[in-house]
Amino acid sequence: MNNKIKKILIIGSQGYLGSSLTDYLQERGYYCVGVDIGFFQYGVLHSPKKVPVIDKEARTITEEDINKFDVVLMLAGISNDPFGNLSYEEVYDPTRDYAIKVAKMCKKLGVRYIFPSSCSVYGDGGDGSQLDESAPTNPLTPYAVNKLQIEQDLTKLADKTFSPIALRFGTVFGVSPRVRFDVVINMLCGMAVAEKKVILNSDGQAWRPHIYIDDVCESFRCSIDWDYSQGELMIFNVGRNDANFKIIDIAKIIQLEVDGCELQLLSQSSIDDLDDLVKDRKVQDGVDKRTYRVCFDKIHETLPGFEASWTVEKGIKRLVQDLVRWKLNQTKFKQREFYRLQHLEHLYKTGQIDEKLTWN
């Protein structure tokens, strides 16, 4: 990194990733400014550090706002199923529109643009081999389709004046000031710490790549510092090859990490009703069709300075320690703001946000 302090605009700064990433970058000497619509501002496990904010949201950002910065990180987006009477298009099309609108402004102004995509674009991984960035994509959810569409739009936008980066993350886990408990390892660790039990929605046979949140933040940091200018969208799978696990094996690791923790499959459990907060509506008849293993060689060979240093086992141990330290209990674990779909449903049903997903 040169001596010039890089100025970073983080659009979506009050989310799960954004809250952790702003702290991570500020601690390492970057100047960060946040933008966020504020849907999840009160879902706080512990207080995030202060960060300057622009009082706008992703849809209302202008060239004047962006021109002050060296890099834009486009974290804002929807990460859950549709709700109420809204269609997939009504929920996800605006995310695609403002992601590309901001990218076009960055291109015009000569500002770097980094987009967090997802390994979920692989969807159903076929024969179980580890998939690299050249493998066919097969998204099974509107979230994954949306990520792939934005990647495709960025591919068309890239040229000799604009070289964006898309980071396809595995399933992220680990504590953040605004933690999510609707992602698999966080949910299972939260359940284990707060309730001394782990209940799986599915049969646990689906494969997923997992990545600890500090490795996510480090991939952003290295991408910010990389002088990439090849004139095309650079796509990286972000994670570790040894972090591909079946969900059942993740659950067993967590069970061993928390004394007195029981492991149950919902289909085999005597429990009649698993709290709606921790149900995954995409799991049908105990089977999760989203199963894929991913190869992470390219990023370690290509992105200067990057190493995913957290194993799943080490990350789970740290996560459990953090949840105990922040005194997670049943009440806190079931706080609605920690669950994206349920909280947005609540805001919509109570008339606080409208069908365009903006504040009323």
Residue 174 belongs to some domain of the structure: yes
- If residue 151 lies in a helix (H) or strand (E), which one and from where to where? helix 142-157
What CATH number does the domain containing 94 carry?
Answer: 3.40.50.720
Helix/strand/coil percent split, the chain, to 5: 40, 20, 40
In this prediction, residue 267 carries a pLDDT of: 67
In this prediction, residue 282 carries a pLDDT of: 52
Residue 110 belongs to some domain of the structure: yes
How far apart CA 144 and CA 131 sit, in angstroms, is: 16
Residue 36 belongs to some domain of the structure: yes
Residue 282 belongs to some domain of the structure: no
Residue 276 belongs to some domain of the structure: no
Number of domains within the chain: 1
C-beta of residue 322 within 8 angstroms of C-beta of residue 257: no
In this prediction, residue 335 carries a pLDDT of: 95
CA angle 181, 189, 131 (to 5 degrees): 80
Residue 122 belongs to some domain of the structure: yes
Residue 238 belongs to some domain of the structure: yes
In this prediction, residue 159 carries a pLDDT of: 97
218 backbone dihedrals φ, ψ, rounded to 5°: -65, -35
- Could you tell me the residue range of the domain that residue 72 belongs to? 7-180+211-244+291-309
Q: Which residues of the chain have pLDDT under 70?
A: 1-3, 126, 267-287
In this prediction, residue 289 carries a pLDDT of: 76
In this prediction, residue 278 carries a pLDDT of: 57
Nearest to 235 by CA among 294, 176, 291: 294
Residue 233 belongs to some domain of the structure: yes
User: How far are the Cα atoms of 49, 129, 220, 228, 331 from residue 320, in angstroms, in the given order?
Assistant: 22, 31, 25, 37, 17
